[in-house]
Amino acid sequence: RKNLGVLVSGRGSNLQCIMDACAAGKIPARVAVVISDHSDAYALERARQAGIPALAVNMRDYPDKAGYELYIVEVLQKHGVHLVCLAGYMRLVGPTLLGAFAGRIMNIHPALLPSFPGLHAQEQAWRYGVKYSGCTVHFVDDGMDTGPIIMQAVVPVYDDDTVDMLTERILEQEHRIYPEAVKLYCEDKLIVEGRRVRVRV
């Protein structure tokens, strides 16, 4: 069983799905630690409810991003983390964290990458007027939402959708594909060949 470290900033619904899938034995892993960059993130509460170590690390308590990330790396290593899952973690991962967990950081993004990277992706897609959007699980590299794509799910955008309706439709799919991608990783079934990720059969 692998140890997961989950980085969050807010609500933590994706964290919840990953914790639940681990607890149900669907993913051969356990969430070993949850780290938030905001002390008031509801995700921390969810982790504590599940008896999982959860801590807030405030960037303002460190001289720079490298110092902040070095502390996060120490915590992740202390908990023997194999895979880092970003679950609504609203910061770019810097070289310190990336270097310590090269190829072992995953993210969920609420759009069909490479379209609409960055913040408010659902609203970006809605404003653009696309007829389909969705979500993407990908490995994290040094760009913004640019790493190798592991899994995607597509949802329709309807004429009378609001941003909130679209966001909710996408979130449903996030909750399905993020645990699935983490499962495949933990089963050592993800093969990365350059930009292309395939699933061992």
Q: Name the residues annotated as catalytic.
A: 109
Instruction: Specify the 3-state DSSP secondary structure of 94.
Output: coil
Regarding 173 and contact with ligand GAR (CB under 6 A), the answer is: no
| 2 assigned ligand-binding residue | no
Decide: is 171 part of the binding site for ligand GAR (CB under 6 A).
Answer: yes
Provide the sign of the torsion angle of the four alpha carbons 175, 149, 43, 82, taken in this order. positive
Q: Which of 94, 78, 183 is nearest to 144 (CA)?
A: 94
Piece of 51-59, 87-95, 96-104, 148-156 that binds ligand GAR (CB under 6 A): 87-95
Residue closest to 115 by CA, chosen among 93, 87, 144, 85 = 144
Give the distance between the most distant pair of CA atoms in the chain. 49
Task: Please tell me whether residue 104 binds ligand GAR under the rule CB under 6 A.
Answer: no
User: How many residues at the interface with ligand GAR, by CB under 6 A?
Assistant: 15
Is 12 labelled as part of a ligand binding site?
A: yes
In this structure, what are the phi and psi dihedrals at residue 147, rounded to the nearest 5 degrees? Answer: -70, 170
Binding residues: 12-14, 65, 90-93, 107
Give residues in contact with ligand GAR (CB under 6 A). Answer: 10-14, 43, 87-88, 90, 108-110, 121, 171, 174
